[in-house]
Homo-oligomer: A and B are copies of this chain.
Amino acid sequence: MHDLNLNGIFPPVPTPFDSRGNLDLEGLAGNVARYNQAGLVGYIALGSNGEAVHLTTEESTQVIRTIKNAATPGRTIVAGVNEFTSRAAIQAIQRASDLGADAALVVTPYYYKGAMTQDALLRHYTAVADSSPLPVLLYNVPQNTGVVIEPATIASLSSHENIVGIKDSAGNMAALADTVRRAIEGFLVMVGNGAIFYPSLVMGAAGAVLAVACVAPNACVELYEAVTANEHTKARELHNRIAPLSQLVTANLGVAGLKAAMEIAGFTGGPPRSPLLDVGEPGRQMIRAVMRDTGLFPTVE
């Protein structure tokens, strides 16, 4: 049995670029150093919010290495794998393993959507997990991929000894609850959607990967702990603070909004890579207003 610790909150760490669009590894290391102060269980490198698809192979390597080196020892390092073939995914996992990652978060292939039947997904993940040097987490993110892994498929894959969990970002509460109910005991469901973070914990999710945790890590950890302690009045109150900000930096403004919010909160943000557009000053005004309303950022006015 694996001893991977996913129980708690992960920020999907964004990748900062400088004004010329090059990697800002110092800024990245500084962000992680600050995250180390919060009660986070670990970090996602090269997730969707990390602009994995915007990086070269060499840049991906530098990002994993930087996060691994900056993280307090003991934090779980999960490396995103965003590849279109089984063979390319296995190679990327090998690279991540060599860099010291603890697990690989493998997105569903998504270009030939019409061909991504549940059977094709089953075979792909089995092939990848069979050869993976790291424990595999499935990654369901239909907003970006247009592909859905169904609960029955996840349940079937949960029996593979090298597939230890899933990050489900779909925001489909019914499907996530179904997955928890149908997967084998010990399979770890991570909710990757701030809007249903709290109810997902209630339904049995082990942890969460939340864009909003890149901006407000402590509040996310507090909500997690409130649910664990069966303190639902407190949990709902925290949900109501976090939810509007979460919505703004994911569904509404996306990665560019998340980076702007991080800057406002004192982290290194920077511009996203083109074709993503900076949110501009109107976007920043909106973000500042929402952050103020949360009551979580005393210095934002």
Contacts and interface: CB of A to CB of B under 8 A. Distances in A.
Interface of A: 21, 48, 53-54, 56, 82, 84-88, 109, 111-117, 119-121, 123-124, 127, 143-144, 146, 171, 173-174, 177-178, 181, 193, 195-196, 198-200, 202-204, 230, 232, 236, 239-240, 243, 247, 251, 254-256, 273-277
The 8 lowest CB-CB distance pairs between A and B, nearest first, are A174-B195, A173-B173, A199-B199, A124-B275, A86-B274, A53-B84, A146-B146, A53-B111
A124 B274 contact: yes
B86 A181 contact: no
B256 A115 contact: yes
Contact of A273 (B85, B203, B240): B85
B195 A243 contact: no
Contacts of A254: 112, 114-115
Given A146-B146, A203-B198, A204-B236, A112 B243 contact: no
B181 A240 contact: yes
Contacts of A86: 273-275
B243 A178 contact: yes
A196 B174 contact: yes
Nearest to A227: B232
Contacts of A48: 111-112
A277 B146 CA distance: 19
Contacts of A276: 112, 115, 120
Contacts of A255: 112, 115
Contacts of A240: 181
A5 to B, nearest CB: 23
Contact of A144 (B111, B171, B198): B111
Contacts of A243: 177-178, 181
A87 to B, nearest CB: 7
B204 A274 contact: no
A255 to B, nearest CB: 7
